[in-house]
Chain A
Amino acid sequence: MNPLLDQFLSEGRDFLQSIGERLLQLEEAPGDSALMNELFRLVHTLKGNSGLFDLPEMTRVLHAAEDLMDAVRDGRIPFDRPLADCLLEAMDFVATLIDEIAEAPGDAPPSTAHHASDALRLGETLRSLLQDRARSADGADPAEEEPPAPPERPEAGASDARPSALDPIDLPEPLRADLIRRLEAGGSFCWLRYEPEEECFFKGEDPVHQMLQLGDPLWCRLESREDWPPLAELDAYRCLLRFEAILDTTPERLAEHFRYVPDQVRFEPLSQEILTAATAAEGGPASTSDRAFSAEAEWSFDLVLEAQREILALSDTPPWLDGRLRAVAASLSAAFASVGRESEIEGLEPALQAAIETRSPTPLFAWLAARHPQPHAGRATAPDDDTGGGSDRIAAAPAPGEPTSISSSDPEESIRFGRRAEDQLTSPRTLKVDQVKIDRLMNLIGEMVVAKNALPYLAGRAEEVFGVRELAREIKAQYGVINRIAEEMQDAIMQVRMMPVSFVFQRFPRLVRDIAHKLGKEVRLVMEGESTEADKNIIEALADPLVHIVRNSLDHGLETPEARQAAGKPREGRLSILARQESDRVLIEIADDGSGIDPDRIRRKAYERGLIDEAELERLTDQEAINLVFAAGFSTAEQVSDLSGRGVGMDVVRNAIARVNGSIDLRSQVGRGTTLRLSLPLSMAVTNVMIVESAGQRFGVPMDAVAETVRVARSDIRTIKRRRTTMLRGRLIPLLALNDLLALDAEQIANDDDELAVLVVRVDQEYLGIVVDDCRETIDIILKPLAGFLGGLTGYAGSALLGDGSVLLVFNPRELI
């Protein structure tokens, strides 16, 4: 099933649910116009959505419902019970269709043509309601108005479509004879009349084409419904044609063929009766079916009576005996009436009374025996051969009786159609869950991970403190199992939270089009990898920065068509947005082929704004200059436009990305274009941190910031301009003591060889050494942001619980320095 249809079905169910609720609420408060508007909007949207698919039946009914609601909304007709009933029935019909489509295998929505007659009938009911009400609202006494008859059952609708006696077709005699002969030989033919509506040409229909597609007719007639006016007044675009044909086809195929215009066609299978009826004017179909039921009906009648007999033969006396007796009496009365023996029912009522009074079935038994002696063995059902299982028989008995009572061609259809919302058969496959619940689940799993991490500590204690090595090993084995399950759980919940980046991307085509239009630029947007997935929080955090970047590209990056042509580039600029997954990160690349960023201009601007001094102006490499666009308060735009140039620019973008542990990389070549590469974690839930020790405390450092850990001999540390530095593989690394950064009043402790532990972190492509007392293991933690008063401490990314119950503060190297 394609995703669009899937979404339509799941949304459709939601809509129907809401529509149902609103309708019920409206019954309580018919005057509530806000509610009515809401209802109208829901139906309108659902109708619009259904139009995306090839579902004319659904659209037709919804369209009629929409018209009706529109009239109610405008106050042209009042809202009341019968109207609500009709609308509810229409919605049940739509629900039936939706269920059917959802259950169908395959990709494309199945044809729902077999519901065409129901759709037609419902549509007409709704429309007639609209007209009746409108008239009665205009006219005198609405009290006289009878509530509209409840819509007929579908089987009635089907037989209603029977053309009124097929107005004796004056078929040529040889053809008639031929048809009768071929019908006898088992052929199937249909008579069809198609009267396209007058405006059909304006809807792009071509009735001739429709008819030609049906293949060669055995007989055809084409005439006008009215006399043609004089040529000068003829309106060629008002369709007045009437097509009639006899075709070698089935009604199902015709229904399918004309499914968009079911109200304009009538067809029915040809039978010998119809053909002969045309000759023998008065011999209606009634004569043919006169005694047709007798054999079958008699058999069913016997079965019903037999079942009643069995019920009466039950010897127990349950508290519901009265009800059982009444039921038997009702069944008997109905059975006798159905075979035309109404006169015999008279004695039944006294027998029933007597039976109830005596609390015994005997009087009824006697009555039945008098009217219908026990049939002998050898009838349709041999009663002797089944000794037990009376209830089975009762359940099975009525089934063959169906043809007499229901004339519908498809009884299953009517059963399904009649169902209401409360006996929903299929449950939807997708769940909509409040995000809070998912978050709670994730928090719980987080705690589980923490609790799980306590097991190795326990194992350690078992061995070291209590000296039970055996137990320690068993705890570790158990830990392995729990660890695996916890990881799988974590993975599963991550999957739930995953969203495709298309959630953000989908707004770009429109955005790019509008902005390009406003700026008079020609832009082609290329998007790839929309299905790449990442955690919901990440995706949401991405939305605003991406919009900003795209705007920047359009505003500053891409040139006007004229400028592009002058530069020897195609008039149309190209903006590409690509997303892909690389190990545990999502990469998003936004590239344009515009003018690029001129480093000299950036240098000058930055200098003018006082962001850099003269020395830096000389020293900055081009790449460093380009990165200046990320500096706070930087803007190159000469003018503040409504698109960009307010100075809240790329620094905001960078911070937003950094907040979700992402990084941003900007490359640009003058005249060739600019590429921005965002790298984001797939998920924020679990953070891998390295534990370091300093001044007797433990701290965490996010692993993605850690480049390496080294031991540096104190003698290798040089002080340059009062800052400590060291050479590491030919690179000069500035060193900062963690105790100084955190204002802890202690010296960093060196190891026995007088070497200091240095954590080399990478901040914005620059390396920096942080001197700590010791580096420890790395662990996975659930990072909780600091909240409340501590929330203002930007130096820390958050805190986490460790397996031994202590709290670990995780610092944020970028902010700390």
Chain B
Amino acid sequence: MRIPCPLCGDRDHREFTYKGAAVALDRPGNSDWSDDWDSYIHLRDNPAGDTDEMWWHGAGCGGWLVVTRNTVTHEVKAARMAADVKGAGA
């Protein structure tokens, strides 16, 4: 699998570490426990198809990426810097 890092270009997936669904970006705004927190920490979809997920380019630029990947074909469709996605109000 290859991941097109926005900073480093097309790189082998072994340079990256997987974290999980990009739901991780949507941290609830307050620190009181709630169902939102429960969903944020524990509940994940298991899609057959396109999904956004977090990958860390630890053996490269150190960037956290949001990678759009198809779980059926493994096709990597896009990779954006997590900071940009978060900054755009994801």
A binds B: no
List residues of A whose CB falls within 8 A of some B CB.
Answer: none
List residues of B whose CB falls within 8 A of some A CB.
Answer: none
